[in-house]
Amino acid sequence: MSKFYITTAIVYTNAPPHIGFALELVQADVIARWRRQRGDDVHFLTGTDEHGTKITRAAKDAGQGTKEFVDDIEQQVVDLAKDFEVSNDDFIRTSDQERHWPAAQKLWKRLADSDDVYKKTYEGYYCVGHEAFIKPSELEEDRCPIHKTEPERIQEENWFFRLSNYRNQVKAAIEADELRIVPASRKQEILNLLDDAEDVSFSRPSAQLSWGIPVPGDDSQTMYVWADALTNYISAIGYAQESEQFRTLWPADVHLIGKDILRFHAMIWPAMLLAAGLDLPRAIYVHGFINVDGEKMSKSLGNVIDPKEFLKRFGPEVARYYLCRAIPTTEDGDFAWQNVRARYDGELANGLGNLVQRTVTLLIKLGTEVLYDQDQADTATLRAFTDTSTYEAFMEQFRLHDALAEVWHKVDEANAYINVKEPWKQEGQPMKQTMLTLAAMVGHIAWLLAPFMPETANAITARFGTPLTEHVPPGTVLKPMKGDPLFPRL
């Protein structure tokens, strides 16, 4: 088996997790499940980012202590992952003083040993939403373009990281795809930003930020949230101890993130790793944002989608399907309740659900136990139908919506096969050939669907009494069983 280490960004615990992070969790889970299907030894990490000015302010506004506040949000993130059927292998908290803090401080010391951190007085614009200083040229009408808030003008003495020492190496690695940025449009975006990359603040005075990791050797300073948070990808796998797990899993194969934090992951993090003498991650996959009815989600507009409400209305399988099918994987996508309903009725109930129900009902006419003889099926049709090259290419390219569309082409093709063959009019060997072919088609669809809708895939094969495999094994005894519709009418 080949190792495959995939991470999501870690959720910033200043507020409950939103639908955008549910999207990221599901995307990462689909990739992880697909890789396991292929036989890879997968390690899937997610977690929570629990330090910073914004969190202490949010806790105060909520009338809670900071630890009590982040513990509550962290549990909501854990529950969200579980409710969306996410198969993460590990969960890291940046407040974890046994696993995370030693790694973050060790990495800082490595940077200090290579003379890549230095102290100076700095004055600039600080965006609390980003937990970062931003340049005046990045502002739009004196506001942060992402958070739409006016940054604070701050003058203070901080530790800085010599990003400028490594920008050429980082740029060369990205240009050569040693650090692959997906999609390509994000690659060009970060290359443009690297041309003007400057040294970055890596700490805040402890008097201003007490909730965080102390800078090693300087208790007057607290590690800046990005110097702290980015380290989670190695702290969770034992960087502090340089464990066997760390030596096996690093470098990460995929960091999956949102477009708003690309510059931190593709500029600062690779430079930190180079300064510490560590390998760069192999790829960064970047997804877009979810809009609602054509508008950006906003509390003021009252259009924020609560992932718990989504699950309550439709359940995790439909939620996973919609997020991967209707939202273009690497671009901004639109969420509309009426669109969820339309896809449920048209694609899930009438498309997939109807295919499974028809096939099981017709197969029962052959008997409650039917031997799957591959030679008696329509082998030419199955050979073309089970060609997964297009599906695999889309999965490799992080085009999950296109991969799922390919599955639905097969759903439509199988339904069309029934309509053309009209097995209810057939008897004997012709009917058996048609039904064995259909059973193999549906089993193959379930296999392709499994990374996206794992419970649905298992429910499909359970209707046929067969294992979840890419191809029905010759000699398998099919045991078709009627059941409730997979997607009952709403």
* Distances from the Cα of 121 to the Cα of 158, 208, 256, 436, angstroms: 6, 15, 34, 75
Does the pTM of the predicted model rise above 0.75? yes
Task: Report pLDDT for 299.
Answer: 63
Helix axes 400-421, 307-325, angle to 10 degrees: 70
Structure tokens at 289: 């944002």
Find, among 211, 240, 239, the residue nearest to 225 by Cα.
211
Instruction: State the CB neighbour count (10 A cutoff) for residue 338.
Output: 8
- The yes or no reply on domain 336-478 and CATH 1.10.730.10 is yes
Strands (E), 279-343: 283-287, 290-292, 295-296, 333-335
Task: Report pLDDT for 294.
Answer: 76
Task: Report pLDDT for 130.
Answer: 65
Task: Report pLDDT for 154.
Answer: 78
Task: Report pLDDT for 247.
Answer: 98
- Asked if 206 contacts 157 with a C-beta cutoff of 8 angstroms, the reply is no
Residue at token pair 């920008």:
167
- Asked if 74 contacts 13 with a C-beta cutoff of 8 angstroms, the reply is yes
Find, among 68, 67, 69, the residue nearest to 95 by Cα.
67
Strands in 200-201's sheet, in edge-to-edge order, are: 132-134, 117-127, 152-161, 200-201
* Virtual torsion, Cα 472, 475, 481, 484, nearest 10 deg: -10
Instruction: State the CB neighbour count (10 A cutoff) for residue 192.
Output: 9
Task: Report pLDDT for 335.
Answer: 94
For the chain, the structural domain boundaries read 336-478
Residues 6 or more apart from 459 whose CB is under 8 A from it? 486
Q: Please give the average pLDDT of every successive group of 10 residues along the chain, which has 490 residues.
A: 95 93 97 98 98 92 96 97 98 98 98 96 75 75 78 86 96 98 95 92 91 95 93 98 98 97 96 98 97 76 86 97 97 95 97 96 92 93 97 98 98 97 94 96 98 98 94 94 92
Task: Report pLDDT for 297.
Answer: 76
From first CA to last CA, the distance across the chain in angstroms is 43
